[in-house]
A and B are shown apart, each in its own frame.
Chain A
Amino acid sequence: MPLQLEIFLEHMLNGLTLGALYALVTLGLVLTFSVIDLVNFAHGDLFMMAGFTSYLLLNLPFDLPYLVIIVLVMLATGVYAIVIEQVAIHPIIDRSWRTHAITTIGLSIILQNAALAIFSSDPRQTPTRLATNIIEIVGLRISMQRIAILAVAVLVFIGLQWFVRRTKLGKMMRAVSQNREMCAAVGINVRQVAMITFALGGIITGLAAALITPLFTVYPTMGSLLTLKALAAIVMGGMGQVNGAIYASFIIGIVESLFAGYVSFALKDVVSFGLFILVLFFRPQGLFGRRRAQL
């Protein structure tokens, strides 16, 4: 294969992995936003917590099977999400968007600085066997870890579609996202659905973190940038459109990877913000959204 093509494909592959990561992170956030109309500015910090949990589990004095670690991280992050929801989100869920924003920002501050106090600001990394297990496809070298991420991401999305359409809980979530007041009137426990949505987002985030942190580093302040990219994806995809947010996440991942490879690695994080602004200026309803009425 010609070298140029090989380099390009490697960047694309990186971009797909990155896109899958962003999509999984964004999924938790867009679920919360779509179902209970709340933007959680501390979402990226939940990922950070999951990442550090994964790091700690990978560095125990004894070896746990990787699969077990993944499950543990998922459960732990679900628990973190539930705790956060009960303590900080539940009391303000009916208030204005401003209260939502400021409360979750406060939460983000607490989480980031607690992590700083406990772990210090050095990035941590622990590769797993999957990460170091490289295979070759059509002349490209790719680690099993990356394949796992892509495969898992696809499975999660398909699984979520099924869940939302076929299960009772999923249908309740859709109902709450469409008309909250009506749901209360027909006996759906909105508070419970909110908590479950949060927990679900947490579990998915935990899964993402467990898969990704072996490839990248974790550090206490990583949440801010991740939250920003997830938010950019949500806006780009059309507010409240889960599928749109996922597609947008992949677009961000791919463009960022190409930018990092061909233009500038140091400034790659500007990409997501740049795309965000472009969409706002030229297609505010999002790339995949429909124009919504005002009232």
Chain B
Amino acid sequence: MNPKNRQRWTLVTIVVLAILLVALPQVFGSGYVINLMIDTVRWTIFALAFDLVAGHVSAVSLGQPVFYGIGAYIAALLAPKLGLGFLGGMLLAALLMAILALITGVAFFRIRRVTFAIGTLGAAIIAQLVANGATKLTGGALCTAGIARPQFTLPFTDISIRIVKPIEYYYLLLPILAVALLIYWALTNSRIGRAFTTVREDEVRASAVGVFPLRYKLLAFAVGSGLTGALGAFQAHYITVVCPTEMGLDITTTLLIIVFVGGAAHLRGVIFGALLFSLLPRMLELVGGQVITPAYQQILYGVILVVVMIFLPDGLDGVVTRVTRKLRRRKPEQAEVQV
């Protein structure tokens, strides 16, 4: 398939997906489907942010729950104090989490590459402890409640929209997905993306061509964490409560599995992983009923993660790439054909 055809196919796929995203909730109006779609889109955004950090610059951050949770608390506690609504809260969360990422990144990106993983893991464990313990601030295990529903006034009019129903939240989430995709694509398909690849593949060689690895690791970490913070803020407005359980380590498990089973540092892999692992719990429910407790699901996830790491390090996306490459080689005549 020559480049022009491939471009055409990609465009078609994008348009079709966009139409599906917008239309499906109208067709299948049930609460179940809408919740499923909200989950899928949420995890896609989350995974895109995570992939920037853990995939593109190979900085395995085990601390995304921190940015997510604190972003949620910012929207719940800080934003109203500053008179910020939904949008302001999200932007504030994004900004503050990006700054936090820069500060912690400077400390954690030292000594060995694994120090970053250790530091972010520590941050995740400690942050949840503190959220549980600082009951005066966060309400502890009893959660912070009473977060306002998003409310917008359309410009140039007096019309005010208040987001209450899940389907409304869904359509509110879609532009956020679009922004996340745009940021992801712009970063990774540019010179910056090329620099990311050098940092990921060979830091020594990267330095030898003039790339300062720390700069790009911090950039990816800050952007990824900012996006995550914004997503946390959204979640706060969606559920209208923020509990320390939102910062649990099982978020990290799901992120790891979406990105590394899907295919790290590849958009296609991340999206596929997000789709798969939003649907998987529901399928397990259908098949196993109540027998499949959360613990069993986590065990399954853990097993999948280990198996994929051992046998399919490039994830499912890697499998697809290898298969298509083999098919392309079997048909050399097609390469000669000029369209």
Determine whether A and B are in direct contact in the complex, meaning some CB atoms lie less than 8 angstroms apart: yes
Looking at the assembled complex, report how far the CB atom of B151 sits from the nearest CB atom of chain A, in whole angstroms. Answer: 37
Interface residues in B246-272 (C-beta closer than 8 Å to A): 249, 252-253, 256, 260
Q: Does the CB pair A88–B129 fall under 8 Å? A: no
Residues of chain B contacted by A239 (CB below 8 angstroms): 111-112, 115
Compute how far the CA of A117 lies from the CA of B119 in the bound complex, rounded to whole angstroms.
29
Interface residue range, chain A? 35 or more
Residues of chain A contacted by B293 (CB below 8 angstroms): 117
Compute how far the CA of A114 lies from the CA of B301 in the bound complex, rounded to whole angstroms.
12
Compute how far the CA of A103 lies from the CA of B119 in the bound complex, rounded to whole angstroms.
18
Q: Give which listed residue, B119, B130, B301, contacts A109 with CB less than 8 A.
A: B301
Residues of chain B contacted by A98 (CB below 8 angstroms): 58, 60, 113
**CB closest residue in chain A, given B310:** A91
Looking at the assembled complex, report how far the CB atom of A100 sits from the nearest CB atom of chain B, in whole angstroms. Answer: 8
Looking at the assembled complex, report how far the CB atom of A107 sits from the nearest CB atom of chain B, in whole angstroms. Answer: 6
**CB closest residue in chain A, given B309:** A103
Q: Does the CB pair A110–B302 fall under 8 Å? A: yes
**CB closest residue in chain A, given B122:** A273
Residues of chain A contacted by B256 (CB below 8 angstroms): 102, 105-106
Q: Does A95 contact B (CB under 8 A)?
A: yes
Q: Does A179 contact B (CB under 8 A)?
A: no
Q: If the complex has contacts A102-B60, A113-B295, A224-B249, are A231 and B118 also in contact, measured as CB distance less than 8 A?
A: yes
Q: Does the CB pair B115–A117 fall under 8 Å? A: no
Q: Does the CB pair B113–A109 fall under 8 Å? A: no
Among the interface residues B122, B303, B304, which one has the most CB atoms of the partner chain A within 10 A? B122
Q: Does A217 contact B (CB under 8 A)?
A: no
**CB closest residue in chain A, given B207:** A294
Compute how far the CA of A269 lies from the CA of B124 in the bound complex, rounded to whole angstroms.
12
Looking at the assembled complex, report how far the CB atom of B122 sits from the nearest CB atom of chain A, in whole angstroms. Answer: 4
Q: Does the CB pair A102–B129 fall under 8 Å? A: no
Residues of chain B contacted by A92 (CB below 8 angstroms): 309-310
Q: Give which listed residue, B58, B122, B129, B306, contacts A106 with CB less than 8 A.
A: B306
Q: Does the CB pair A276–B305 fall under 8 Å? A: no
Q: Give which listed residue, B115, B298, B313, contacts A99 with CB less than 8 A.
A: B313
Q: Does the CB pair A109–B295 fall under 8 Å? A: no
Q: If the complex has contacts A117-B293, A273-B125, are A102 and B107 also in contact, measured as CB distance less than 8 A?
A: no
Partner-contacting stretch, out of A18-26, A186-194, A279-287: A279-287
Q: Give which listed residue, B123, B126, B298, contacts A113 with CB less than 8 A.
A: B298
Q: Does A295 contact B (CB under 8 A)?
A: yes
Q: Does A225 contact B (CB under 8 A)?
A: yes
Q: Does B296 contact A (CB under 8 A)?
A: yes
A83-122 CB mask vs B (1 if < 8 Å, else 0) is: 0000010011001111111110111111011101100000
Q: Give which listed residue, A95, A109, A116, contacts B253 with CB less than 8 A.
A: A109
B174-189 CB mask vs A (1 if < 8 Å, else 0) is: 0000000000000000
Q: Does A147 contact B (CB under 8 A)?
A: no
Q: Does the CB pair A103–B298 fall under 8 Å? A: no
Q: If the complex has contacts A99-B313, A117-B296, A267-B130, are A232 and B301 also in contact, measured as CB distance less than 8 A?
A: no
Compute how far the CA of A3 lies from the CA of B269 in the bound complex, rounded to whole angstroms.
64
Q: Give which listed residue, A41, A106, A280, contacts B107 with CB less than 8 A.
A: A280
Q: If the complex has contacts A109-B305, A280-B119, are A102 and B299 also in contact, measured as CB distance less than 8 A?
A: no
Q: Does B114 contact A (CB under 8 A)?
A: yes
Compute how far the CA of A224 lies from the CA of B128 in the bound complex, rounded to whole angstroms.
13
Q: If the complex has contacts A276-B119, A276-B122, are A109 and B299 also in contact, measured as CB distance less than 8 A?
A: yes
Q: Does A242 contact B (CB under 8 A)?
A: no
Interface residues in A136-161 (C-beta closer than 8 Å to B): none
Residues of chain B contacted by A101 (CB below 8 angstroms): 60, 114, 117
Q: Does B204 contact A (CB under 8 A)?
A: yes
**CB closest residue in chain A, given B129:** A269
Q: Does B121 contact A (CB under 8 A)?
A: yes
Q: If the complex has contacts A98-B58, A102-B60, are A280 and B309 also in contact, measured as CB distance less than 8 A?
A: no
Residues of chain B contacted by A266 (CB below 8 angstroms): 133
Q: Does the CB pair B302–A107 fall under 8 Å? A: yes
Residues of chain B contacted by A232 (CB below 8 angstroms): 118, 122
Q: Does B62 contact A (CB under 8 A)?
A: yes
Compute how far the CA of A224 lies from the CA of B125 in the bound complex, rounded to whole angstroms.
8
Q: Does the CB pair A110–B313 fall under 8 Å? A: no
Compute how far the CA of A87 lies from the CA of B157 in the bound complex, rounded to whole angstroms.
65
Compute how far the CA of A291 lies from the CA of B38 in the bound complex, rounded to whole angstroms.
49
Q: Does the CB pair A113–B302 fall under 8 Å? A: yes
Q: Does B110 contact A (CB under 8 A)?
A: yes
Q: Does A270 contact B (CB under 8 A)?
A: yes
Interface residues in A230-271 (C-beta closer than 8 Å to B): 231-232, 235, 239, 266-267, 269-270
Q: Does A196 contact B (CB under 8 A)?
A: no
Q: If the complex has contacts A103-B309, A117-B295, A117-B299, are A228 and B125 also in contact, measured as CB distance less than 8 A?
A: yes
Compute how far the CA of A112 lies from the CA of B252 in the bound complex, rounded to whole angstroms.
15
Residues of chain A contacted by B115 (CB below 8 angstroms): 235, 239, 280
22 chain-A/chain-B pairs, Cβ below 8 angstroms = A41-B121, A101-B60, A101-B117, A103-B306, A105-B252, A106-B301, A106-B302, A109-B253, A110-B299, A114-B299, A117-B293, A117-B299, A224-B125, A225-B125, A228-B122, A231-B118, A235-B115, A239-B111, A267-B133, A273-B123, A277-B119, A280-B111
A-B contact sample (16 more), CB < 8 A, given A107-B306, A112-B298: A88-B306, A101-B60, A102-B305, A106-B256, A109-B301, A109-B305, A113-B295, A113-B296, A114-B295, A117-B295, A227-B121, A231-B121, A270-B130, A273-B123, A273-B125, A284-B110
